[in-house]
Structure 1
Amino acid sequence: MNTIHLMVGIQGSGKTTFSKKLSEELGIKIISTDEVRKQNPNIKEEMVWPLAYDMCANEIKNNKDVIFDATSITPKVRKRLYDNIKERTNNFQIGCYFFKVDVKVCKSRVAKRNNIEGEINLPLEVVEKFNNSLVFPTYDEPIVFIKVINELGNIVDETTKL
């Protein structure tokens, strides 16, 4: 069974940096909603997610694991990912990487990123809003493992569904 390695965290928490390291370590592709937007500058926002789901499902259909790099901060969003991939393919499981990083650190990182040419400018209030909505994943959701990542990008806790 193939695994979708799902990043869960607010903007600036280190999801993309961790995803790149995990991708190198496991030799698998990263599907990122931010990259979908960058590679398709004229895409309508409502088409970003279906395209990302298609790309993710194609990796599963090709018998490959994949990393899904998006905020995925609520059970509703994570269930939508599961349901949309399930509509396109099966024989997959989802494991979550939860980024437990102080919102002040995340806002500082986003502020620095906002000054980089070519990066999407994100208001810091959005980071705060996402932080207020962030929900830790549980095994009531369709996931098989949870790994907690700290602000240094290290796994500090790990559990597996029994």
Structure 2
Amino acid sequence: MAVLHLMVGLPGSGKTTRAKALAEQTGALRLTPDEWQTRLFDDDMHHPDHDRRHDAIEALMWDVAAIVLKQGGEVILDFGFWSRAERQNFAQRAAALGAQCRIDYEATSLAELERRVLARNQAMQEGHFVIPLENLRDWAKLFEAPDDRELAGNF
């Protein structure tokens, strides 16, 4: 059966690490926008076109994901999915293609997110943007953690 996995969380929450392990375990296609964006545009976090580029990459990734799901495959979208509305939207898209939708989420404190992002910024790892801690703190105010209903697959 086709399955869409949504990797949920803020930067530093371990989404990509978990997505890579899940892809290895299941054979699912993993789509991580930051890897594509940094390959195409380097670290463009502060470029005026960053958000537009990111949205375009995610749209292309969804097009690829939809094809795989229609064929009965498994896809991991490593997008972050910060809002319930966005998660519901993708769950509905998956259902329209006959696919199940599953959330992968691990609660991580803001202090731990800050520690991880700071370490990642200093390491300048490939496929990652340098994220100012002020941005992370602002994003944490916007983040809507999935509730028990969502985690159980009830969107």
Bucket of the pairwise TM-score, normalised by the shorter protein: 0.7 to 0.9
In structure 1, distance between residues paired with 2:17 and 2:101: 20
Instruction: Select which of 66, 69, 72 maps to 2:75.
Output: 66
Moved over 2 A (4+): 38-46, 79-86, 116-119, 136-140
Normalising by the residue count of structure 2, what TM-score does the alignment of the two structures yield?
0.78
Q: Which residue in 2 is equivalent to 1:103?
A: 110
Equivalent position to 2:129, from 116, 120, 127: 120
Contact 1:5–1:95 (CA under 8 A) maintained in structure 2: yes
Question: Structure 2: where are the runs of 5+ without partners?
Answer: 43-51
**Partner SS, residue 12 of structure 1:** coil
Give the length in aligned residue pairs: 143
Task: Give me the identity figure in percent.
Answer: 24
Instruction: Return 4-13 or 27-36, whichever deviates more.
Output: 27-36
- Counterparts of 1:24-103 in structure 2, within 5 Å, are 24-41=24-41, 44-82=53-91, 90-103=97-110
Q: Is the 8 A contact 2:29 2:75 kept in 1?
A: yes
RCO comparison, higher one (Cα < 8 Å, 6+):
2
Call closer, same or farther: CA 1:23–1:73 in 2, change over 3 Å: same
Name the aligned partner's letter for residue 41 of structure 1: F
1:10 aligned residue:
10
Looking at structure 2, the residues matched to 83 and 41 of structure 1 have their Cα atoms a distance apart, in angstroms, of 31
SS at match of 2:104: strand
